[in-house]
Amino acid sequence: MIPYGRQSVSAEDIDAVVSVLQSDFLTQGPVLPRFEEAVAQYCGVAHAVGVNSATSALHIACLALGVGPGDVVWTSPNTFLASANCALYCGASVDFVDIDPHTYNMSVASLAEKLRAARKVGKLPKVVIPVHFSGQPCDMEEIAAFSQEYGFGVIEDASHAVGAGYKDTTIGDCTHSDITVFSFHPVKIITTAEGGLATTNSPELAERMRLFRSHGMTRDRAALAADEGPWYYEQRELGYNYRLTELQAALGLSQLKNLDAWVERRHRLADRYDRELADLPIRLPARLPDRRSALHLYVIRLNQAAHRRQVFEALRAAGIGVNVHYIPVHTQPYYQALGFRRGQFPESETYYDGAITLPMYSAMTDEDQTKVIATLRKLLA
């Protein structure tokens, strides 16, 4: 089966992990700070905070920005559940902004309309979480301008977008946001097995996220209210055990060296898909000139959405592990019980009805891509 995505792990990666296994620290050692610093340097940002998943990173990012009961967080319906669930973990409520039918990211026109309506009734969001779907950066300049006008915080969900660029910035540098979150799950562009990371230029937000990832506890001598000895620590917040291990950090640090090459390979694969699928009755993903997608996913949309299941199952039967990203969050039973209903965010629902994710990963061979293309052409001819 050709998977829709998969990790690439080299002998060098394995050696890096083995080196940690043979060291004195399997967790809370020197490798995690090195990984955080390497990601921060790559992104051109002041601070990076590694955690055990992007879900955890989203949670502590919300907490760091003060999200709590009585607040509302807005995000995209076209995302994984964690982009919305993170607000609920904080006791806040969630709402959604429909997507742009061209990019499948949060629509700035819909955001502007929703903000104007929310201001009239005094229910503006505390935080907005735009999602860089498939690795394609959102319209961050416009979203940042709205954040200044309406007074909300911005968390970029860049789980798909490590290695991406927006205009003259690198995703993760937080030029247009308070915090950016990355995922290093195995199907993402680089992996720490499971893991995530948050970047920020704010030392205060970075310190709060470090507290929340480790039980709300500090050993910083300068911050302690008392000093009973070198063993002493204090709990300052109700935190969590969201730490990233040394093993995971070592894998991530090793993988990071390949990031640019792997994104470049994804672009070559996408260029070939674009050329060889252009005449089929499908919509190809947008490629915008003012930003560089990390191309975590390559999503096509069938012109005849009613045939999606038939095409999907035929591709799977042919050994091609296609997938669908994503079922709109507001249509999930849990969110329906919160009062959401089908029809509220029609662009997200229309997109979902015809979407199929084709295989896309840096180690994908030309031969495997040829099989995907030939099979799809045969099915849609």
Q: Is the pLDDT of residue 111 over 90?
A: yes
Whether 106 and 160 share a structural domain: yes
Of the pLDDT bands very low, low, confident and very high (cuts 50, 70, 90), residue 224 is confident
Domain boundary among 256, 278, 310: 256
Segment 260-270 shows an average pLDDT of 98
Segment 270-277 shows an average pLDDT of 98
> Do the Cβ atoms of 106 and 144 come closer than 8 Å?
no
Whether 136 and 6 share a structural domain: yes
pLDDT of residue 221: 86
Domain that holds residue 356: 259-380
pTM value > 0.95: yes
Whether 291 and 238 share a structural domain: no
Whether 130 and 267 share a structural domain: no
Count up the domains in the chain and report the number: 2
Domain boundary among 194, 222, 256: 256
> Do the Cβ atoms of 65 and 153 come closer than 8 Å?
yes
Of the pLDDT bands very low, low, confident and very high (cuts 50, 70, 90), residue 220 is confident
**Using one digit for the tens of pLDDT, what is the confidence trace for 135-156?**
999 999 999 999 999 999 999 9
CB proximity list for 316: less than 8 A, separation 6 or greater: 322
**Using one digit for the tens of pLDDT, what is the confidence trace for 279-318?**
999 999 999 999 999 999 999 999 998 899 999 999 999 9
Q: Considering just the CA atoms, what is the radius of gyration of the chain in Å?
A: 21
CA distance linking residue 71 with residue 94, whole number of Å: 9
Q: Is the pLDDT of residue 194 over 90?
A: yes
Q: For residue 106, give the CATH number of its domain.
A: 3.40.640.10
Whether 216 and 106 share a structural domain: yes
Whether 202 and 276 share a structural domain: no
